[in-house]
Amino acid sequence: LWIQVLERLQLQLSRPTFETWIKTAIAEQLDDNCLVIRTPNPFARNWLQKYYIKTIAEVVQEVMGHPIDIHITITQGDDASENPEMFWPLPSHENVTEPSPPDSAAANNGARSALNSKYVFSRLVVGANNRMAHAASLAVAESPGREFNPLFLCGGVGLGKTHLMQAIGHYRLEICPSSRIVYVSTEQFTNDLITAIRKDSRQSFQERYRAVDVLLVDDIQFIEGKEYTQEEFFHTFNTLHETGKQVVLASDRPPNQIPRLQERLCSRFSMGLIADIQPPDLETRMAILQKKAEYENMRLPRDVIEYIASSYTNNIRELEGALIRAVAYISISGLPMTVENITPVLNPPVEKVEASPEAVILAIAETFDVSVEDLKGSSRRREISVARQIGMYLMRHHTDLSLPKIGEEFGGKDHTTVMYSCDKISQLKESDPSMAQTLRQLGDRINHTSQMRK
């Protein structure tokens, strides 16, 4: 019967899908009421469960003549099930290359980190904040060089860009082990280029970077102002793009906000998909901690998870760091894991710095190059009214002023105008990554000046 099921599934699913997910699975039990499918690892299980269970159920029903329960389990009993990482290509996987060093001097010249074995899709929690970036990354791994080329991942520090990028690499290799995948930081790309020029080996540099199936370049914002690197990268990009190879870039801001980036590169970077990653909401942060705890075999009370999750809001790396510190402290001190006991090792959550209304207005005026009078005036010129709306939004977030008071600060505007502005900017913040970025920068700036004055 299972053979029949397989045959039918094979007809329904694409070959790579079938080969990757179905063929590696074993029917452990199949009777009148129940089918148990055993998969080689947790990721395969989740994958089947999530995307193919319906298809499998339909096919089984066809074969059996009636619906039956389907359970998907993972192979038990060997070490591997304890340690899901084992299923993934380790950093030394031969295809996961940093481009091989042009000479031995460069090889000694610091670590060439390959893919981190922890940065796989199965370890990534998907929330509203990264759903699109995650979906696009999966799509790219499944069919590189097609829809989203380049894929441009952008988001603040510690929000999972590197993780997603490397997950693409891992998963691509899983699907197609012969893929040539290069993961490189922008800094390393630059260093390799410099070395190549010095050694007069530009050709081998070009061969190295252009003979890949998927090129993953991290922290591309650092290419800013490096004219020569930009020139070279432009050609690398074009060669890959023209031959249908996939390029994935990660940056802390969208292309149009990278200063001193050549226009032609900016437009290349924007021609695929720009997927932004926002800070995770509380529930997602809790899910991240939960998952992390599971991987580390730790059991944490819910209130502890909630407490840590609520103390760290916009950097997942810090969130994880806090968890690790808490666990280490508890295991050393021998105290029970409670909120009170871990408080000492968590950095106190950063308090919002109280800013003065003037500080907000000044920051806006300087950033947008408009005058304070204009901000307080009634001009409806677009750049002024946008700056004013952003100012109202920021004043709402950085001061305790009421809506009518904020209206006064902006030259006696009605409180409904303030409300409308705050609303509008909030929406833009959600929908437009560059707005989110601008707000973040302005927020930092206001916090910074207010802190100095304290």
Nearest to 102 by CA among 234, 236, 195: 195
According to CB under 6 A, which one of 199, 317, 397, 424 is a site residue for ligand ADP? 317
Task: Give me the least distance between CB of 74 and ligand ADP, in Å please.
Answer: 20
Taking each helix axis from N to C terminus, what angle separates 433-453 and 415-431, rounded to the nearest 10 degrees?
Answer: 120
Of residues 271 through 290, those in contact with ligand ADP by CB under 6 A are: 288
As a whole number of angstroms, the distance between CA 235 and CA 229 comes to: 10
What torsion do the CA atoms of 220, 225, 231, 237 make, to the nearest 10 degrees? Answer: 20
Q: Is 412 annotated as a binding residue?
A: no
C-beta atoms surrounding 431 within 10 Å: 10
According to CB under 5 A, which one of 20, 117, 130, 162 is a site residue for Mg ion? 162
Contact between 125 and ligand ADP by CB under 6 A: the answer reads: yes
Q: Is 225 annotated as a binding residue?
A: no
Query: Do 8 and 47 contact (CB within 8 A), yes or no?
Result: no
Contact between 316 and ligand ADP by CB under 6 A: the answer reads: yes
Task: Give me the least distance between CB of 156 and ligand ADP, in Å please.
Answer: 7
Contact between 421 and Mg ion by CB under 5 A: the answer reads: no
Q: Is 443 annotated as a binding residue?
A: no
Shorter beta-carbon distance to ligand ADP: residue 155 or 357: 155
As a whole number of angstroms, the distance between CA 145 and CA 181 comes to: 13
Task: Give me the least distance between CB of 136 and Mg ion, in Å please.
Answer: 17
Shorter beta-carbon distance to ligand ADP: residue 286 or 375: 286
Contact between 130 and Mg ion by CB under 5 A: the answer reads: no
Contact between 130 and ligand ADP by CB under 6 A: the answer reads: yes
Number of residues that bind Mg ion (CB under 5 A): 2
Task: Give me the least distance between CB of 219 and Mg ion, in Å please.
Answer: 6
Contact region with ligand ADP (CB under 6 A), list: 40-48, 209-217, 313-321, 336-344: 313-321
Shorter beta-carbon distance to ligand ADP: residue 317 or 397: 317
Q: If residue 185 lies in a helix (H) or strand (E), which one and from where to where?
A: strand 181-185
Number of residues that bind ligand ADP (CB under 6 A): 17
Q: Is 23 annotated as a binding residue?
A: no
The sign one gets for the Cα dihedral 25, 27, 32, 33 is negative
How remote is the C-alpha of 216 from its chain's centroid? 13
Partner touching 288 among Mg ion, ligand ADP, none, CB below 5 to 8 Å by kind:
ligand ADP
Partner touching 95 among Mg ion, ligand ADP, none, CB below 5 to 8 Å by kind:
none
Partner touching 245 among Mg ion, ligand ADP, none, CB below 5 to 8 Å by kind:
none
Shorter beta-carbon distance to Mg ion: residue 162 or 179: 162
Shorter beta-carbon distance to Mg ion: residue 45 or 161: 161
Strands 214-218 and 151-155: unpaired
Of residues 163 through 182, those in contact with ligand ADP by CB under 6 A are: 163
Nearest to 138 by CA among 285, 273, 289, 293: 273
Partner touching 140 among Mg ion, ligand ADP, none, CB below 5 to 8 Å by kind:
none
According to CB under 6 A, which one of 59, 74, 106, 124 is a site residue for ligand ADP? 124
C-beta atoms surrounding 306 within 10 Å: 17
Partner touching 172 among ligand ADP, Mg ion, none, CB below 5 to 8 Å by kind:
none
As a whole number of angstroms, the distance between CA 405 and CA 414 comes to: 9
Residue whose pair of structure tokens reads 């760290």 in the numeric block: 312
Q: Is the peptide bond before 404 cis (omega within 30 degrees of 0)?
A: no
What torsion do the CA atoms of 346, 326, 155, 370 make, to the nearest 10 degrees? Answer: 0
Shorter beta-carbon distance to ligand ADP: residue 280 or 407: 280
Task: Give me the least distance between CB of 366 and ligand ADP, in Å please.
Answer: 28
Contact between 318 and ligand ADP by CB under 6 A: the answer reads: no
Count each helix (H run) and each strand (E run) in the chain, helices first: 22, 9
Residue least distant from ligand ADP (Cβ): 160
As a whole number of angstroms, the distance between CA 417 and CA 404 comes to: 9
Of residues 135 through 164, those in contact with ligand ADP by CB under 6 A are: 155, 157-163
| CA atoms in the 13 A half-sphere facing the CB of 231 | 5
Contact between 251 and Mg ion by CB under 5 A: the answer reads: no
Task: Give me the least distance between CB of 452 and ligand ADP, in Å please.
Answer: 27
Q: What is the DSSP annotation of 91-149?
A: TT-TTEEPPPPSSHHHHHSS------TT-SGGGPPP-TTTHHHHHHHHHHHHSTTSSSS
Shorter beta-carbon distance to Mg ion: residue 240 or 277: 277
Burial code (b: 16+ CB inside 10 Å, e: under 16) for 178-205 equals ebbbbbbbbebbbbbbebbeeeeeeeeb
As a whole number of angstroms, the distance between CA 304 and CA 343 comes to: 10
Shorter beta-carbon distance to Mg ion: residue 38 or 163: 163
Residues that bind ligand ADP (CB under 6 A): 119, 123-125, 130, 155, 157-163, 288, 316-317, 320
Residues that bind Mg ion (CB under 5 A): 161-162
Binding residues: 158, 160-162
Binding residues for ATP: 158, 160-162
